[in-house]
Amino acid sequence: MTTTPTSSRPAVRRTRGLQASRTRVALLLLVPMLLVLAAVAGYPLLRTIYLSFTEYNILQDPAPKWIGLGNYWFTTDEGVGLGVLQTPEWWQSVWNTVRFTLGSVLLETVLGLAFALIINSKIRGRGLLRTAILVPWAIPTVVSAQMWNWMYNDSFGIISQWGQKLGFLHTGESFLSNPDTAMAALVAVDVWKTTPFMALLLLAGLQTIPSDMYEAADVDGASPWTQFWRLTLPLLMPALLVALIFRTLDALRVFDMPYIVKGNAPETITMSIYARQELILNSQFGFGSAISVMIFLIIMVFTAIYVTSLRVRFD
């Protein structure tokens, strides 16, 4: 680039030279970050994709053995389906993850919006409220999982006690131990932990709406209800959309909270928990990698939708 064809005007050449040297500097500044990113993201991802085409029990096999698409789709001579896409456990984990995602994202959006509207209203002590809702966010996920585990405890848990008193549960039963309510119990933990984050994002959105729009609506005699649906909600849409998609992506890859609270229980196993179970607990690096690749593809499809629908632009 420095040997750009001759130009009769030296000034142009000087700016070109400057431009080229700035590009070189920029590249040098970027190299360390890019190297680390390639080492922790690029290479491991490619390696995972490669392993997903192999049969590899990391404890028994000396090396991965190439089997093509067998981990994804493979039917034995007896007609038994062994590929990921043929196993009921995978589809169970997908279904669980979908239920978890829909339930938590929906509730978090509604509750988060309510929290944001309260904090944004002219109530005294809203500073205190805003500070208080940061507490669940600040508590580590593992800690909140164990806190709720204790509150869900079948004989000593306060929530189980409430459930038993109100007649939802039998004596000695908890929302967690009952397979029908276990997923709802996990959603409740996630909602408690993450609604504040949602509320903060929406609060930021609410505060960008100029107050004179509400004054104008008041003059026109619009009721608060009408104002909310016709004014607040449409103007809040961009912030709401961003928050929604962020929460969806997080919920789709959820691992820690459900794993600590319910382990590998089939009624609540999520895609990530299933992948780790096959990879680490069962040492199936080939099959487990195929599950990981499937999760990666699902997340990437969602991200693509996010980037295109919001027209995210840089620079």
Segment 214 to 233, residues that bind other proteins, using CB under 8 A:
218, 224
- 82 near other proteins (CB under 8 A): no
Specify whether the CB–CB gap between 177 and 154 falls below 8 A: yes
- 295 near other proteins (CB under 8 A): yes
- 280 near other proteins (CB under 8 A): yes
Specify whether the CB–CB gap between 186 and 262 falls below 8 A: yes
Q: Among the candidate windows 4-12, 66-74, 85-93, 125-133, which touches other proteins by CB under 8 A?
A: 125-133
Estimate to the nearest angstrom the gap between the alpha carbon of 48 and the chain centroid. 20
**CB of 267: closest distance to other proteins in angstroms?**
20
Out of 161, 177, 264, 282, point to the residue binding other proteins (CB under 8 A).
161
Residue 265 corresponds to which tokens in the numbers above?
A: 């229980």
- 246 near other proteins (CB under 8 A): yes
Out of 129, 209, 235, 265, point to the residue binding other proteins (CB under 8 A).
129
- The closest of 161, 183, 31 to 103, measured between CA atoms, is 183
- The closest of 107, 92, 191 to 144, measured between CA atoms, is 191
Helix (H) or strand (E) holding 82: none
Residue closer to other proteins by CB (options 54, 181) is 54
- 152 near other proteins (CB under 8 A): no
The Cα-based distances of 313 to 23, 87, 125, 264, 307 in angstroms read 22, 40, 38, 40, 8
- 17 near other proteins (CB under 8 A): no
Out of 48, 92, 109, 264, point to the residue binding other proteins (CB under 8 A).
48
